[in-house]
A and B are shown apart, each in its own frame.
Chain A
Amino acid sequence: MITQMTHVSIHVLDQDRALDFYSNKLGFKVLKDVPMGNGDRWITVSPPEQPGFEIILSPVTRGQFSEETVKTLKSLVEKGTFGVGLFTCIDIFATYEELKAKGVEFTKAPKKEFYGTEAIFKDDSGNWFSLAQLV
């Protein structure tokens, strides 16, 4: 029986920039920042009220991919191909205004849907997330 999801990996173009985005703009907590050699770091962050859920900021160059695969992956991330997940918040209008003030790019302003009110934003690499205040 599966009980919980504890780690999810997202592809980022630049770890330092992603760390700044997730910690300083989204306000996430940095859980791990471990040097792994060759300039790579094991960095995980979590939403402030969900410390058991680690989002791994994984550089597109990580792993044993071919150069061509890395190039394709980088291009897909940049193009905004990947929708990674949905974050919830207490008040979507306040959160939307705050993130916008911090320079976060939204591709959809808050809109009422049958399940709540939802907006869509992109991270600094191009990954997109839904931001919702659920009913």
Chain B
Amino acid sequence: MMNEQYPKIYLYRRLVQAKLFIDAHYADPIDLDNIADEAYFSKFHFIRMFKTIYRRTPHQYLIYVRIKKAGELLKTGMTVSDTCYTVGFESLSSFCGLFKRMTGITPSACVIQHRELKAQMARAPLAFVPGCFAERNGWIKK
């Protein structure tokens, strides 16, 4: 790999570290200003670069990760309020509002939807598999 083809390695590593920091600490009260400081960027430059690469500002990305994790936790059967606080939100109403805005359904609807889907998977697994694969894999007879 030629150096001129990979000129900003230091910059990229800092941005990736910031992203991975959010991935790992999304549930904590993260101060995004601190992340910019740790990345040795001005706040403005950091946000601009982060958005160029990840299509979201660090704050938007933090919310995105929290909502994504919340969806996973709700599918495990965790209650809506426990999920809310576990992923780092402090207000149940703002969590529910953001969840609905970003996923199209409320957290409670997500729980019900997943429960029904799981029951359907157990009841009729072949309904989820294209017939040709099911046949080829020996799950149904020709």
Where the two chains meet, the residues of A that have a C-beta atom closer than 8 Å to any C-beta of B are: 7, 9, 32, 34-37, 40, 42, 56, 62-64, 90-91, 93-94, 97-98, 101-102, 109-112, 117
Contacts and interface: CB of A to CB of B under 8 A. Distances in A.
29 contacts: A7-B130, A32-B128, A34-B121, A34-B125, A34-B128, A36-B129, A36-B137, A36-B139, A37-B125, A42-B125, A56-B133, A63-B138, A64-B136, A64-B138, A93-B8, A93-B9, A94-B16, A94-B53, A97-B13, A98-B16, A98-B19, A98-B20, A101-B16, A101-B17, A109-B6, A110-B1, A111-B5, A112-B5, A117-B5
Interface in B1-49: 1, 5-6, 8-9, 12-13, 15-17, 19-20
Contact of A109 (B1, B8, B125, B128): B1
B39 to A, nearest CB: 13
Interface string B108-142: 00000000000001100100111001001111000
Contacts of B129: 34, 36, 42
A117 B5 CA distance: 9
Contacts of A35: 121-122, 125
A91 B53 contact: yes
Output the residue of B12, B17, B54, B138 with the most chain A CB within 10 A: B12
Contacts of B128: 32, 34, 42
Contacts of A102: 20
A84 to B, nearest CB: 17
Nearest to A108: B1
A47 to B, nearest CB: 14
A51 B130 CA distance: 16
